[in-house]
């Protein structure tokens, strides 16, 4: 979710669900060790529980970055072993690390020894055309010995050559049964499933077999789904939220960000464009909130325009 789940996106999602765990976009160890730490690690207090996802392969660097994440207040450190992009591969991390489980284990152990918060791993069920269950089983077994107890499993292979990151989320077939086998073989571990989940029926089915479900693209493009999660999965009372209340809260947030950090509302609003997904007038509402010609306009006025008379005719 690079360039998607930034702190503004996570603030928006937290308005919809108070209990779902949020994950940062993947941040490389190089960016933290040689770049602007505050820019990469700053987050809103409202985001808790929130996990820092790291990209890297050098154990010492991972340990240093995990300590930074803990010092900044993150609730979990997650190592990405699932991203298939060529740029990430050139950095020798992401999905290609699944071919080096001992190196991943060394990195995990270094982080576990360095921090007191949980260290987790996100990975695929295989790489390239290797579709043997033994491959992912041995990967999980090796990394678990280093102290990782939670594995977030994207139930697709990652093809390291020939497919774009987008195609890697769609073309390799989903094989949920391999994730179920991992839970059977590693009953003591927390196994969380990821990939292709778009309905409550699907999620509920998987939660009967596994310890959790991670939702990515569907949560971003159809965010209102999250408004039911606290009741559905965390035993909270029925939500009294409305889309209009959430939109107003985001406008208030835009105003605070503009005053405190000179942040343009335009870069924040992009994350909520799916809020009215499927409703009459949603197309015009999105057009107004994504109109670059309105960048200099107060977001309160933009909201009024988005709900103006033309909305009924849209």
Residues known to be catalytic = 83
Structure tokens at 140: 């999980």
157 contacts 128 by C-beta, under 8 angstroms: yes
Q: Which residues partner with 122 through β-bridges?
A: 80, 152
Alpha-carbon gap, residue 240 to 99, rounded angstroms: 47
Instruction: Tell me how far CA of residue 86 lies from CA of 31, 58, 96, 123, 161, in angstroms.
Output: 18, 18, 10, 16, 8
Phi, psi at residue 286, to the nearest 5°? -65, -40
Using the CB atoms, write b or e for 32-64: b if 16+ within 10 Å: beeeebeebbebeeebeebbbbbbbbbbebbbb
Phi, psi at residue 20, to the nearest 5°? -60, 140
């Amino acid at each position: 979710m690079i360039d998607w789940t930034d702190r503004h996106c996570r603030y928006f999602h937290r308005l919809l669900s108070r209990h779902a765990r949020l994950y940062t976009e993947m941040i490389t160890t190089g960016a933290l060790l040689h770049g602007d730490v505050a820019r990469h690690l700053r987050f809103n207090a409202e985001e808790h529980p929130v996990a820092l996802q790291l990209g890297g392969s050098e154990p010492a660097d991972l340990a240093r970055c995990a300590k930074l994440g803990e010092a900044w207040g993150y609730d979990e450190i997650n190592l990405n072993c699932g991203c298939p992009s060529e740029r990430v591969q050139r950095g020798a991390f992401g999905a290609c690390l699944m071919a080096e489980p001992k190196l991943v284990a060394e990195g995990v152990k270094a982080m576990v020894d360095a921090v007191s918060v949980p260290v987790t791993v996100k990975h695929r069920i295989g790489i390239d055309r290797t579709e043997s269950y033994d491959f992912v089983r041995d990967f999980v077994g090796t990394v678990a010995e280093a102290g990782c107890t939670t594995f977030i499993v994207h139930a697709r292979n990652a093809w390291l050559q020939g497919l774009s990151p987008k195609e890697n989320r769609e073309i390799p077939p989903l094989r949920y049964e391999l994730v179920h086998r991992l839970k059977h073989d590693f009953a003591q571990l927390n196994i969380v499933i990821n990939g292709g989940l778009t309905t409550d029926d699907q999620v509920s089915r998987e939660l009967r077999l596994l310890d959790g479900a991670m939702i990515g693209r569907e949560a971003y493009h159809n965010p209102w789904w999250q408004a039911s999660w606290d009741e559905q999965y965390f035993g909270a009372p029925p939500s009294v939220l409305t889309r209009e209340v959430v939109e107003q809260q985001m406008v208030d947030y835009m105003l605070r960000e503009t005053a405190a950090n000179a942040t343009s509302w335009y870069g924040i609003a992009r994350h909520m464009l799916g809020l009215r997904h499927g409703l009459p007038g949603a197309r015009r509402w999105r057009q107004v909130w994504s109109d670059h010609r309105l960048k200099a306009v107060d977001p309160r006025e933009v909201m009024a325009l988005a709900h103006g008379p033309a909305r009924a005719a849209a």
